[in-house]
Each structure stands twice: as C-alpha cells, then as structure tokens.
C-alpha cells in the first residue's frame, strides 16, 4: 500500500526550516513590543461573510482563492486568507477598538489561498501581521512603517526596497475611479487579460495591480491617483513623506501601487526584494480607515502591515542548529535506566542533549556525538555502571574524566 502524500501547495517543515520561523516570531515579539504592540491569537476559521465584506467580493482573493465550505450547521466558513479581517473582528467583538484611543496588536500564523503553488507562494502560507487601530494621524502610518523597517533589520535582511503611494479616500477616490474607467474604455479591451476586462467594470484600480506584461504596458499611461487626491489626502500623504524623510528611510514613490485588497485607502506601502524570483513582495500594508465600521464596529481608523514568512525565510541567513551541551552514550543494557535519569538531571540544570540507549558500538556513538557537534560525550559502559560512574569526554579539547553518577543528584 502506498504512503499518503501531502496536499499540493502545503509544506512540511522540519527543524532546519522551522528554526527560521521561530527566529521570525521571536524577533516580532522583541521589536513589536518596543512599539507597544501586544500579541493577539485569532482563529484560522471564520465566517465567510467576514472576508467577503472586509476584503471585497470583487477581489481575486474572495472570488477565486478562498478555501470555503459549508459545515454541518449549514454555515459558510472560510480558512482565513489574510489576518487583518480576523484581527479586527476580534477587536470589535471584544470592544477594544475606539476612535482616538490607539490600540496595537500583532499576530502570526498560517493563511490559506487556493492558487498555483510556486517559490515563495504556497496554498498554506504564513504571515506576521501588525495592526494599529484608533489613530487617524499620519504619524501612525510612519510609526508602523518604521516598525516594519526595524523588524526587517532585526532579521538581518538587507537590499530591500520600500515603495509608497496614497490611494485617496472615500471622498476623492470616486473621481479617480471615473478617470481610470474613462481611460480604460478608450483602450482596445481585447488587449487586456480576461481578469482585467472584468475588473474594468467592477474595480478598475485592480487593473493597475495586474502582473500580466500586456496589461502592465497598457496601464503605463493611465491617470495617476496623485493628481486626483483631495486636499485632506494630499496633506496626510505629505506629512507621511516628510516624517519618513526625517527618519532617514529610503523609499520610492510608486503611483501604480494599489495592493490586492479593497480595504486600503490613503497611505499604502510595499517592501520588495529582487533576490527571490518573480514573487518580489515580502511585506506590505497601509491605512484602512472605514474597515472597522464596515465590519460592524465604530468608525475607527486603522493602519497595519503583513509580512510573508516563507518569502522572508528565503532572504534570511541559514541558522545552524543549537549546539547540544551533551550526548549520553550507553553501551551496557543494565545502564539504560540510569542513563535516562542522568540525562534528566542534566536537563533540569539547563543543559540540552540527547540520550542514546539503542544498540550500537562505542565508535558509532562517538561519531554521532561529533556529527551533532555535542560539547561533551557522557559514557556509561559496563565498567562505569559497575563502579557507579560516568565518563565525561570533552569533544573540543579531547580530554576526559570520571565522575560519580551520584554527584549529579
């Protein structure tokens, strides 16, 4: 009978890969807590309407990519495709989001989207997410951007590009949408991909985000949203750029940056790398004023970002496994129980290591101790067991000594 295989687009993660994820999580806790953010843990499963409302029914995520099913209670449920909607649902339900009273949360975990698996993009992928709720000030945008910069620096990731844009607001975006629609209608629609022909009618801003080369060429001369911003949005974005400049962050303005989710408005940003192939974006986010209210909460503003952990892992230096303090080798079956208890005593003292009580030669045990780079090899053979002792071999210096096992009590 053949073994059961993993599902396409889902990956197993052994210790060498898991170490990178642990490092990212530890760094998030270290950096984000400096900014007053607290860790939030939210479910991976939510009601489908949360994402249809929050992300937008005309987005590719909702229209094509969600893992949605009907449960035994005849409810439509969805594995979360992103974290912001779930985080806001949790904050609204708990009553912890209020206009003018900033609250800060971060989360990480698996997300799910049904799309073609490729390098840096899986059907189960992982994100680190940060949300600052309740503050409409441009300083909140900058604080979140600088926190993201600090986080990526903490991971030792260099040669990244920050791109910024403003998407306007509910007041000025309709004018831009009208100008964009008029521009697209002046084109030969057959030159656009099938998705963009649909987007022209449902959400023309999404055409700007298309990665198909033909569509990218056609939108090169499209109207820029910067020319259609209202006074409030212009002032907000100018304040963001001024403060970012004073902080010394290098960035480029990208008038075509719209992100893939409908809830963004005003400041939006993305961090890219040219070192991981076609999937260049490693993090991104922006302001989403109005989303809290759309999901049933107060009219509280918000700004945040998400990092793709698989993509960040591709850019991080490989981390060696932690070096064991000891390897305990048993070559007398009478000593197996004593070895397990000795290993336990060593571990309660804060030491880390393995206890090998399977059959095998002393030569193979020492070879394994060297392979895992153990600092010391503890040996209990027939002579040691009879004498109530353990031989401790220094794997770095080469010397050894004999100690009473009772001395470890």
For residue 199, pLDDT beyond 70 = yes
Check the CA dihedral 373-375-378-379 and report its sign: positive
Q: How confident is the prediction for the chain on average, in pLDDT?
A: 87
How far is residue 341's CA from residue 237's CA, in Å, rounded to a whole number?
A: 64
- Cβ(125)–Cβ(113) below 8 Å: yes
- Cβ(271)–Cβ(71) below 8 Å: no
How far is residue 168's CA from residue 176's CA, in Å, rounded to a whole number?
A: 9
Check the CA dihedral 120-124-128-134 and report its sign: positive
The residue-averaged pLDDT of 382-407 equals 87
Would you state the pLDDT for residue 260? 59
Would you state the pLDDT for residue 32? 97
pLDDT digits (tens, 9 = 90+) for 328-371: 988 888 888 888 999 999 999 999 999 887 767 778 888 888 88
The residue-averaged pLDDT of 292-315 equals 92
* DSSP secondary structure letter of residue 321: P
How long, in residues, is the chain? 409
Check the CA dihedral 332-336-342-343 and report its sign: positive
Would you state the pLDDT for residue 223? 81
pLDDT band at 205 (very low <50, low <70, confident <90, very high): confident
Position with higher pLDDT, 205 vs 393: 393
pLDDT band at 145 (very low <50, low <70, confident <90, very high): very high
For residue 286, pLDDT beyond 80 = yes
Would you state the pLDDT for residue 120? 65
Would you state the pLDDT for residue 365? 81
User: Among 394, 402, 375, 383, which Cα is nearest to 331's?
Assistant: 383
pLDDT digits (tens, 9 = 90+) for 222-265: 788 888 889 999 999 999 999 999 999 999 998 888 765 667 88
Q: What does the longest C-alpha to C-alpha distance in the chain come to?
A: 93
For residue 116, pLDDT beyond 90 = no
pLDDT band at 29 (very low <50, low <70, confident <90, very high): very high
Would you state the pLDDT for residue 298? 93
Half-sphere exposure of 233 (CA within 13 A, CB side): 22
Would you state the pLDDT for residue 44? 95
Would you state the pLDDT for residue 318? 81
DSSP string, 377-401: EEEE-HHHHHHTEEEEEETTT--EE
pLDDT band at 10 (very low <50, low <70, confident <90, very high): confident
Beta strands in 71-146 (DSSP E): 76-79, 103-112, 124-133
pLDDT band at 319 (very low <50, low <70, confident <90, very high): confident
For residue 279, pLDDT beyond 60 = no
Would you state the pLDDT for residue 57? 62
How far is residue 123's CA from residue 114's CA, in Å, rounded to a whole number?
A: 5
Domains, the chain, with CATH or none? 15-172+229-315 (3.30.930.10), 326-408 (3.40.50.800)
Would you state the pLDDT for residue 320? 80
pLDDT digits (tens, 9 = 90+) for 72-96: 999 999 999 999 999 999 999 999 9
Q: Which whole-number Å values give the CA distances from 131 to 32, 108, 266, 301, in the listed order?
A: 11, 12, 16, 11
Position with higher pLDDT, 149 vs 260: 149
pLDDT band at 278 (very low <50, low <70, confident <90, very high): low
Per residue in 208-243, is it b (16+ CB within 10 Å) or e — as a string? bbbeeeebeebbeebbbbeebbeeebeebbebbbeb
pTM over 0.75: yes
């Amino acid at each position: 009978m053949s073994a059961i295989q993993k599902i396409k687009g889902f990956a197993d993660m052994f210790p060498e890969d898991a170490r990178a994820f642990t490092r990212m999580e530890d760094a998030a806790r270290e950096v984000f807590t400096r900014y007053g953010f607290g860790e939030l843990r939210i479910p991976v499963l939510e009601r489908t309407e949360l994402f249809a409302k929050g992300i937008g029914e005309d987005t590719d995520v909702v229209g094509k990519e969600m893992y949605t099913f009907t449960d035994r209670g005849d409810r439509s449920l969805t594995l979360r495709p992103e974290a912001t909607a779930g985080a806001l649902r949790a904050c609204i339900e708990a009553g912890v989001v209020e206009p003018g009273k900033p609250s800060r949360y971060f989360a990480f975990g698996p997300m799910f989207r049904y799309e073609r698996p490729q390098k840096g993009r899986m059907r189960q992928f992982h994100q680190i997410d940060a949300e600052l709720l309740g503050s409409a000030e441009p300083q909140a945008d900058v604080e979140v951007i600088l926190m993201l910069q600090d986080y990526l620096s903490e991971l030792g990731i260099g040669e990244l590009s920050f791109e910024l844009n403003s998407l306007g607001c509910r007041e000025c975006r309709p004018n831009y949408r009208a100008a964009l629609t008029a521009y697209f209608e002046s084109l030969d629609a057959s030159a656009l991909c099938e998705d963009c022909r649909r987007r022209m009618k449902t959400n023309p801003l999404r055409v700007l985000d298309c990665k198909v080369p033909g569509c990218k060429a056609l939108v090169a001369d499209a109207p820029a949203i910067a020319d259609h911003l209202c006074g409030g949005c212009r002032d907000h974005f100018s304040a963001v750029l001024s403060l970012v400049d004073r902080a010394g962050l290098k960035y480029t303005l990208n008038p075509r940056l719209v992100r893939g989710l409908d809830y963004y408005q005003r400041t939006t940003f993305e961090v890219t790398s040219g070192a991981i192939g076609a999937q260049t974006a490693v993090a991104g986010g922006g302001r989403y004023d109005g989303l809290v209210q759309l999901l049933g909460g107060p009219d509280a503003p918000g700004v945040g970002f998400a990092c793709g952990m698989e993509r960040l892992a591709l850019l991080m230096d490989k981390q060696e496994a932690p070096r064991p303090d000891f390897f305990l080798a048993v070559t007398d079956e009478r000593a197996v129980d004593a070895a397990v208890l000795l290993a336990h005593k060593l571990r309660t003292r804060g030491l880390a290591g393995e206890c090998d009580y399977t059959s095998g030669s002393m030569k193979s045990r020492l070879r394994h101790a060297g392979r895992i780079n153990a600092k010391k090899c503890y040996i209990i053979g027939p002579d040691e067991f009879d004498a109530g002792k353990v031989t401790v071999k220094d794997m770095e210096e080469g010397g050894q000594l004999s100690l009473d096992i009772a001395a470890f009590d």
